């Protein structure tokens, strides 16, 4: 009976920890990462990209949900004036849209989704963004702006953050300089073409939970390469988070205490 009791107690402890992990996963938001910062700019709403861009925005809005969106415009190339058509599209979808040139935890707090367009972020700002996501916020981030000098420098800065969400940025830029047509090979319904401006790839990590959300090909190559990635689940990694370890230790402690009490009660007087 003592062996059966130990098994039941251990099972209860693991079940409690698992339930906490599932709750954390359910509470986390969605990260969408693009390899180029121009994909939602005003240029993207011109032919031949307009239909594809509109379909992409609608899918993002449906994925993120909520009503209050913030556009981060710290990258001067993609300023507020370059995002007027995106703002109009999101407004037509029932979203309230505001913009900000600065970024910190207080700035993004309370918004249902935050859109980032290539501006450089410090390690502290990436930590703030991670906390926002794991707290239930949603974010669209863009690389490829050259803020870090080279594609390799940009990848080195972003990949530790992206790895938390099962994604990885390529270390080289691709396609010809200037705006080019990305023919979508995999992506949201109706998103057949997207604009691309000398960005880099975003792929899923083989062992991660991320997904290759949009893939595309270019005239002259590359072909079928990851353009936009998304997270399937956030806030849970292969190794338990510190809070999960604490719950697990507590569970084991309670199990041990219960077993000791059971053993004491069974011992002869």
208 pLDDT tier (thresholds 50, 70, 90): confident
Specify whether the backbone of 204 is left (phi greater than 0), alpha (psi in -120 to 50) or beta: beta
pLDDT of residue 194: 97
Residue with tokens 């992409």: 56
pLDDT-wise least confident of 81-85, 141-145, 224-228, 230-234: 230-234
Secondary structure (3-state) at 142: strand
What pLDDT, in 10s, does the model give residues 40-99?
Answer: 999 999 999 999 999 999 999 999 999 999 999 988 889 899 999 999 999 999 999 999
User: 29 is written with which tokens?
Assistant: 């938001």
How many angstroms separate the CA atoms of 167 and 165, rounded? 6
The H-or-E segment that residue 116 falls in is: strand 113-116
Average pLDDT of 219-243?
Answer: 66
| Contact (Cβ atoms closer than 8 angstroms) between residue 20 and residue 261 | no
255 pLDDT tier (thresholds 50, 70, 90): very low
| Contact (Cβ atoms closer than 8 angstroms) between residue 230 and residue 205 | no
| Contact (Cβ atoms closer than 8 angstroms) between residue 64 and residue 28 | no
What pLDDT, in 10s, does the model give residues 143-189?
Answer: 999 889 999 999 999 999 999 999 999 999 988 888 999 999 999 99
Q: What is the DSSP letter of 143?
A: -
Q: Is the pLDDT of residue 254 over 60?
A: no
Average pLDDT of 28-38?
Answer: 94
How many angstroms separate the CA atoms of 251 and 253, rounded? 5
What pLDDT, in 10s, does the model give residues 88-147?
Answer: 999 999 999 999 998 999 999 999 999 999 999 999 999 999 999 999 999 999 999 988
């Amino acid at each position: 009976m003592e062996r059966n009791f130990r098994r039941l107690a251990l099972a209860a402890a693991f079940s409690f920890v698992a339930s906490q992990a599932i709750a954390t996963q359910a509470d986390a938001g969605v990260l969408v990462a693009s390899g180029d910062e121009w994909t939602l700019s005003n240029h993207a709403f011109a032919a031949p990209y307009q239909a594809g861009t509109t379909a992409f925005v609608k899918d993002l809005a449906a994925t993120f949900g909520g009503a209050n969106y913030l556009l981060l415009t710290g990258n001067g190339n993609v300023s507020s004036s370059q995002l007027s058509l995106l703002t109009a599209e999101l407004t037509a979808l029932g979203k309230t849209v505001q913009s900000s040139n600065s970024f910190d935890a207080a700035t993004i707090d309370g918004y249902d989704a935050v859109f980032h367009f290539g501006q450089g972020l410090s390690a502290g700002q990436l930590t703030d963004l991670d906390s926002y996501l794991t707290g239930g916020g949603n974010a669209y981030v863009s690389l490829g702006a050259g803020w870090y000098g080279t594609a390799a420098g940009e990848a080195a800065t972003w990949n530790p953050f992206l790895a938390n969400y099962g994604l990885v940025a390529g270390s080289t830029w691709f396609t010809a300089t200037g705006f080019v047509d990305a023919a979508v090979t995999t992506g949201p319904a109706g998103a057949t073409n997207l604009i691309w401006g000398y960005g880099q790839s975003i792929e899923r990590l083989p062992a991660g939970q991320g997904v290759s959300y949009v893939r595309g090909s270019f005239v002259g190559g590359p072909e079928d390469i990851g353009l936009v990635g998304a997270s399937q689940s956030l806030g849970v990694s292969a190794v338990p988070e510190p809070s999960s370890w604490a719950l697990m230790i507590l569970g084991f402690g309670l199990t041990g205490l219960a077993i000791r009490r059971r053993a004491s009660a069974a011992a002869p007087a």
